Amino acid sequence: MLSTKGQVIERLLDGDFICRTTNEDGWRFLRIPANREQVDAYLGQLNRLVATIGTGPDSEVFFCGYRALGDAERKKISEQFRDICQALTPLVEWLVLVQDAAGQDAPLTEGMPIRLNELQTVIEDTPAFREQLSHLCSHRLFYSTSVDVDRQIKQVFSRLCDLRYLIRPNTEKQIYLATGKLDYLYEVIRFIDDAEGLNLEDQAESAVQGQLL
């Protein structure tokens, strides 16, 4: 069997995000600076390093980046960037749908559970949410031709599990947990917002006030 260090290196090299929800042992391991240096030294031989995002001490997410950037690496990075940009809008639509349907005022973040049965009941009972779900399914990311809410939502969730935005700790239960990759998504949007000066937060705020008036 692999040691925790071995597992962490394997997950990182496989392109995974290591967060508290997906791999608590590995996450605790990487939070110790000495361990992180060891992993970093190992990955250095493969021109890689341990990168991290996260604001709080408990919400760190680790992933693997390149150490030196050559042409090949740049190409890979811009491919990945393009992928994530294409996925951005459908994922955001999904986040808003889940948040609205659950009636929460906090969006989904790492470690938060979704009970698919409850979500499905709410969506089935609300025409506006059903419409949003159908719209979601028209994106290539979730592509589903079914007109049935049950199949559409299962397709969306299974895609999200494939993409590792969600995990399903118990295959017999319809409970999903959000992973640290979602936090990465927020960071990407925030970066784009800052870099292009879109003022997304202000736009949302003024729209809410407009509705209230």
Partner 1 sequence: MSDHLKEAGLRLLRGLARHAEPIMDAYLSGSIADQALEPGVRERLLKDGILYRPEPGADLHLRRAVRALLEEALRDDRNRRIDANTGSALASFKTLAEHYKEAHHQGDYAAAEAYLADLKEHVYAFGETLSHGIRVLWSRINNEFGYVGTLDAKIRENELAQSQVSALLAGLELVNFEVLAETAGDLRELRHLLVTNLQRTIGSCAQELSIVQGRLLELLGRFREIRGRTRLIKGWLLHLNQHPEYQVGPHAAGSAIPALFNRAAPALAPASLSLHDPTREAELLALLAKVRSLHPRESRAQALADAPALTLTVPDDFEVRSSAIRAAVDAYFCEVIDSGEPLSALDYRDRQSLSNDAESWLYQVLGGYEGLPEEQKRYFELETIGEVHPLYSGNFIIRDLRLWLA
Q: Which residues contact 168 (CB under 8 A, 6 or more apart)?
A: 161, 175, 176, 177
Shortest separation between residue 150's beta carbon and partner 1, angstroms: 16
CA triplet 33, 76, 39: central angle to 5 degrees?
Answer: 20
Contact call for residue 128 and partner 1 (CB under 8 A): no
Residue 41, SS3 per DSSP: helix
Contact call for residue 201 and partner 1 (CB under 8 A): yes
From the list 25-33, 80-88, 133-141, 150-158, the region that binds partner 1 by CB under 8 A is 80-88
Contact call for residue 34 and partner 1 (CB under 8 A): no
Handedness of CA 145, 80, 89, 102 (dihedral sign): positive
Contact call for residue 148 and partner 1 (CB under 8 A): no
Number of residues lying near partner 1 (CB under 8 A):
56
Residue from 65, 130, 155, 168 binding partner 1 (CB under 8 A): 65
Contact call for residue 200 and partner 1 (CB under 8 A): yes
Start-end of H helices in the chain: 4-13, 24-31, 33-44, 71-102, 116-125, 127-137, 149-162, 180-196, 200-212
Residue from 71, 162, 172, 202 binding partner 1 (CB under 8 A): 202
Tokens 């719209």 correspond to 135
> Long-range pairs for 139-146 at CB < 8 Å and ≥24 separation?
139/89, 139/90, 139/93, 140/86, 141/86, 141/87, 141/90, 141/91, 142/90, 142/94
Residue from 4, 5, 102, 107 binding partner 1 (CB under 8 A): 107
Residue from 8, 19, 64, 114 binding partner 1 (CB under 8 A): 64
- Residue placing its CB nearer to partner 1 in the complex, 108 or 119: 108
Which residues lie near partner 1 (CB under 8 A)? 10, 13-15, 46, 48, 51, 53, 55-56, 63-66, 69, 73-74, 76-81, 85, 88-89, 92-93, 95-96, 99, 105-107, 109, 145, 147, 186-193, 195-196, 198-205, 207
